[in-house]
A and B are shown apart, each in its own frame.
Chain A
């Protein structure tokens, strides 16, 4: 089956999305500590993601967001609990769970098109001709048809992340895992990327699990926002975002929701900060600066 058929790019109009059967992710009481006897990075995480759902995990720095994503990707293994994708346990990294990394992680010795084709080359099953077609389709999806021959360092930051997204999508993964993919971009580029990602998601209806520290980003993109606690990382709250796609990022609904979620996280940050202040309190009991830990909000 060709990507074009799946994503219906020919007529330019996103057709009614095909029901996504794949991409059912279940985490059951997952705990992971990095060293024996230390506080776990994530503790007792229960999370179910439905096929085709766009879930954004948000929380302060050090809350275990990236750990969560690495567990899903199979790059880390839980100390206890289970992770399954479509009923199959997640054991190792694989092309069914494509990852878009924060620092793009494109291979600098390959061109953009070669980067996109890398996964297909590794799976080896397809001929060169079909591979080239699929690479071209994937590049077209991220509007980079004319940049396939460019080397990685010749691309701008936003283009690099678009290539990284094409590289993930071309493998037709069951779930797309995104680890703060736009954190290093400037605000205008990021807004553009949000619009394009939304468009892609409307077209493909892939299951996406997206990690960010930016509340604004979460509200713009998510069907459901999962707010994590810090120390240890736990699911504090989930918030459904009942706004239809594609969204107007400047609408009042969005800014109100951003305010609400931000307050929730600030409470959480203050809790952590006061804990830390307690812990680190010097002899005189100097007051610690509160409410700034990790609510980086780049939008």
Chain B
């Protein structure tokens, strides 16, 4: 599989060098590698020159000046830090509200009737559609970015939590009652652990929603002082730097996949192992 990928990338590179289509429209993998290195402050020139002056190490290109004074000046590090902090705060807020709403919807039929269809409907709304509202309410502030993130993921988490609680086999609750689990103990020691497999899945889904919302919000909230990954993407676009656009898109996918694999998939697998839900 890996070999096939490498072969495909090599074919792409070869095609580029043979056909020589305009690099500003469609760069070769080597350009993207250059762009990735540039994001962390190294100038490489693996790719064929995109123009007569490319790569241009000179000070005439202020944006590409490599005289970084602090780590914070390295675009990618700053972008990752800003995006990471936003993601952590926003995702935890989202999980909090999602759990709260999900449990309430599960317990109170009226609230489920009220919110259930609404939340399902809201899931069809692309999360960037919250941006105008966030701009008006919060202005171009961090709170606006977080608002879009939370709105983009907490409803999906709420629905997932509600459904997870619904599918708990009733016999667990019966068994808990029979052994004297009452009130909060029923929640803490029976219902919460029983819903873990479904909870893990809805957290995993919630994360991917949160990530997408955050990227969209960062693209739209260019004027916020801190610059996340989404900002870098649109910044590269404004310079017409297609290699960097592609490099950042690849990074976005890679980060989301990495977190999904390392955190959420692993959590899900651990729980499924415990419950004996794995095949084989």
Q: Quick check: A118 and B179 within 8 Å, CB to CB? A: yes
Closest to A153 in B: B276
Q: Which of A2-10, A48-56, A90-98, A272-280 contacts B (4 or more CB under 8 A)?
A: A90-98
Q: Which residues of B contact A286 (CB under 8 A)?
A: none
Which of A73, A119, A122, A154 has the most B CB atoms < 10 Å from its CB? A122
Q: Quick check: A171 and B276 within 8 Å, CB to CB? A: no
Q: Quick check: A105 and B172 within 8 Å, CB to CB? A: yes
Q: Quick check: A97 and B178 within 8 Å, CB to CB? A: yes
Q: Quick check: B189 and A118 within 8 Å, CB to CB? A: yes
Q: Which residues of A contact B196 (CB under 8 A)?
A: 109
The residue from B178, B182, B189, B274 contacting A108, defined by CB atoms under 8 A apart? B274
Interface residues of A (CB under 8 A from B): 73, 75, 92-95, 97-99, 101, 103, 105-110, 118-119, 121-123, 151-154, 167, 171
The residue from A99, A118, A151 contacting B174, defined by CB atoms under 8 A apart? A99
Knowing A101-B171, A122-B185, A151-B276 are in contact, say whether A107-B178 is a contact too (CB < 8 A).
no
The residue from B180, B274, B275, B276 contacting A119, defined by CB atoms under 8 A apart? B180
Q: Quick check: B179 and A108 within 8 Å, CB to CB? A: no
Q: Which residues of B contact A151 (CB under 8 A)?
A: 274, 276
Which of B177, B189, B194, B276 has the most A CB atoms < 10 Å from its CB? B177
B154-208 interface with A by 8 A CB criterion = 169, 171-172, 174-182, 185, 189-190, 193-194, 196
Q: Which residues of B contact A153 (CB under 8 A)?
A: 275-276
Report Cα–Cα, A282/B64, bound state, in Å.
Answer: 87
B interface residues, tally (CB under 8 Å): 21
Knowing A122-B181, A122-B189, A171-B179 are in contact, say whether A109-B274 is a contact too (CB < 8 A).
yes
Q: Quick check: B194 and A75 within 8 Å, CB to CB? A: no
Report Cα–Cα, A119/B180, bound state, in Å.
Answer: 6
Closest Cβ of chain B to A99, distance in Å, is: 5
Report Cα–Cα, A109/B195, bound state, in Å.
Answer: 10
Q: Quick check: B178 and A95 within 8 Å, CB to CB? A: yes
Closest 7 A-B residue pairs measured CB to CB?
A153-B276, A119-B179, A93-B177, A122-B180, A105-B171, A105-B175, A109-B193
Residue pairs across A and B with CB atoms within 8 Å: the count is: 68
Closest Cβ of chain B to A118, distance in Å, is: 5
Q: Quick check: B276 and A101 within 8 Å, CB to CB? A: no
Q: Which residues of B contact A105 (CB under 8 A)?
A: 169, 171-172, 174-175
Report Cα–Cα, A73/B249, bound state, in Å.
Answer: 59
Closest to B278 in A: A153
Provide a sorted-by-A list of 10 A–B residue pairs whose CB atoms are within 8 angstroms: A92-B177, A93-B174, A94-B177, A103-B171, A107-B190, A109-B193, A109-B194, A154-B276, A167-B179, A171-B179
Report Cα–Cα, A154/B278, bound state, in Å.
Answer: 12
Closest Cβ of chain A to B274, distance in Å, is: 6
Report Cα–Cα, A167/B176, bound state, in Å.
Answer: 11
Knowing A101-B171, A122-B185 are in contact, say whether A109-B177 is a contact too (CB < 8 A).
no
Report Cα–Cα, A106/B275, bound state, in Å.
Answer: 11
Closest to B196 in A: A109
Q: Which residues of A contact B274 (CB under 8 A)?
A: 108-109, 151
Report Cα–Cα, A118/B196, bound state, in Å.
Answer: 18
Q: Which residues of B contact A152 (CB under 8 A)?
A: 276
Report Cα–Cα, A183/B178, bound state, in Å.
Answer: 21
Closest Cβ of chain B to A285, distance in Å, is: 42
